[in-house]
Structure 1
Amino acid sequence: MIVDDDGPVRESLALLLDAAGFGTRCHRGGEELLDYGPPPGPACLLLDLEMPGMNGTEVQRRLADAGWNIPIVFLTGHGDVPAAVKALKGGAVDFLQKSEMQPSELLEMIEQCVADHRRRLMERQARERQKQRFDHLTEREFEVASLASSGMTNKAIGLELGISERTVEIHRGRAMKKLGLRTVAELARLKPIFDRLASTE
């Protein structure tokens, strides 16, 4: 995504990226970008620093507040060092002067940003799928699986919860199935998640 109030800059960047095989979306300012909404998949944002209305660092803050979590590369024609420091502290990947920008370096940076964003999206999707599985557990299934993840035997869990060993086996089996687990080792790896969820209840 390219956000710059300078039309020729937007067009030249779009031509460069299109030629390199990237899909592009151009916006004249931050308001237009926010109105359009986030991209459907992995992306990188080329963001002009000095623009009418919201400047680049304000757009950066608004995107963070909205939870976009997209890699940002700032572009400027001024080389404002304090602004660069502020942008990088805000999480920007880099800060480039338009007059010194090398196409090959820019393309390499964008490729890395898109790859990093793709990895983060995949990790978030995996966490969401895992959370959905945990949400499907009954309270008893959660209790049994949580104790089992710490290495307790079915007999010990039964004594802890005041239920029969057979009942523990049933709840544990159902929990394992809902969580998509096949082995005790896989369940043990989820202990930190059980602990975290238990502490928030």
Structure 2
Amino acid sequence: MSEPEETEDRALRERLGTLREETPSLDFQSALHRRLVEAGPPDPAPGWDRVRWLFRHRAPVLWPSVGVAAGVAAFLVLSAVQEPPAPPPTVASRPLAVPGTQVPVSKVAVIKLDFTADVAVEQADFQVSLPEGLSFWADGEELPLRSFQWTQALSAGSNVIPIAVRGQRPGRYLVTAQARAGEQRIEHDVVLEVTDG
């Protein structure tokens, strides 16, 4: 430090040391206290200061009220935005094979099931069951299954599903086909008559 600065610094310290603290008189303190009590708490300033004051002083009532209001608003917005659920697609079934179709024992019969859907269905479960005396036929061979299940999509409109069967002996047989899409279930019976021949 330079000398002039030290001199000024020393002079300032001496002046500050001569100051003494004067406490206000008791009359002044009492009068000030009375005036502040009479005036009451100050009004909050407009704008965000008022909002902060409300949250500080009314928190036990205000916070739960804000939470309930936000929940009601969210419920109303979501219920207005949410679309009603689409009705389940309807699936109908009609056989293309005429009931009572005749086929000789030596021949393979192709039963064509037509499942019609109003709209496209992503996943439908199917099952075809054969009685004793009929068997599924594929690639020139008899399959040992009595029932066959699978899952597939359905397009809107007609969906033809061919099923190859062969009779082992003459008689009248009932082939059962079932389809299930969501909650809807369709069951259809096809009569097949196997003759000598």
TM-score scaled to structure 1, two decimals? 0.20
1 or 2, which has the higher helix percentage? Answer: 1
Return the index of the structure with the highest Cα Rg: 2
1 or 2, which has the higher strand percentage? Answer: 2
Whose relative contact order is higher, 1 or 2, with alpha carbons under 8 Å and at least 6 apart?
Answer: 2
